[in-house]
Amino acid sequence: ERSRILRAKERSARLEMDRLWLSSRLAMQNDALKDSALKATDRYFSILNEIESADYHLVDLLRVKPLSIKDFNKVLPKNVGVLSYLVTPSHLLIWTLKDGKVSGTQVAITGEELEKKISEYRDLFENFSATEFVGAELAEVLLDPVKQWIRESEHVVVIPHRSLHFPYRDWE
């Protein structure tokens, strides 16, 4: 019995040593990955600086400088609203922006379900078939949650996400 206990303790000690060794290897790999990412980031900004010194207009096409909501509202006419979508695996998020106010809603549809509806709509559209039924289903998901907001906007700018880049035909 005592020898079994000793063997179990030895096995436990070996497992603990293996765990520590693996933890240290993982930490070293994480440090190496962090170092690699920092070097890549430095190189990226170095390349952008080279491009900027050669042609400062060109670098604006490469650098993403998002506007703050405050700055965005300064350039957005009063009668225009912005509708932005984000497709996630579990649901659809919709944001609206108008007159300096941002609001959002969540729609209970998975990304996969939405992709299927859009694919069906695209197939019908590309074959010049009737899209009204599927279009109405999509409108129910994409527009109904923000219908009142849309009615209050004279013009609507849509910022689609992923598969939401498709033709919106016959949508009132």
pLDDT by residue for the chain (172 residues), tens only, comes to 778 778 778 888 788 788 777 877 777 777 787 888 888 888 888 888 888 888 777 777 777 677 788 888 888 888 898 999 999 999 999 999 988 888 899 999 999 999 999 999 888 888 888 877 888 888 899 999 998 888 888 888 888 888 888 766 555 5
Q: Any alpha helices (H) in the chain, and if so which ranges? A: 2-54, 56-62, 69-75, 111-126, 132-142, 147-151
At residue 3, the pLDDT reads 81
At residue 171, the pLDDT reads 57
| Residue of 128, 39, 145, 51 lying closest to 91 (CA atoms) | 145
Rounded to an integer, what distance in angstroms lies between the CA atom of residue 49 and that of residue 143? 43
| Residue of 96, 91, 98, 107 lying closest to 145 (CA atoms) | 107
Rounded to an integer, what distance in angstroms lies between the CA atom of residue 1 and that of residue 8? 11
> Within its chain, how far is the Cα of 11 from the centroid?
47
The answer to whether 94 touches 107, Cβ cutoff 8 Å, is: yes
Question: Measured at the alpha carbon of residue 160, what is the angle toward residues 135 and 163, in degrees to the nearest 5?
Answer: 65
Q: Which residues pair with 158 in a beta bridge?
A: 83
> Within its chain, how far is the Cα of 59 from the centroid?
24
| Residue of 59, 40, 37 lying closest to 48 (CA atoms) | 59
> What would the two tokens of residue 96 be?
């609206």
The answer to whether 49 touches 77, Cβ cutoff 8 Å, is: no
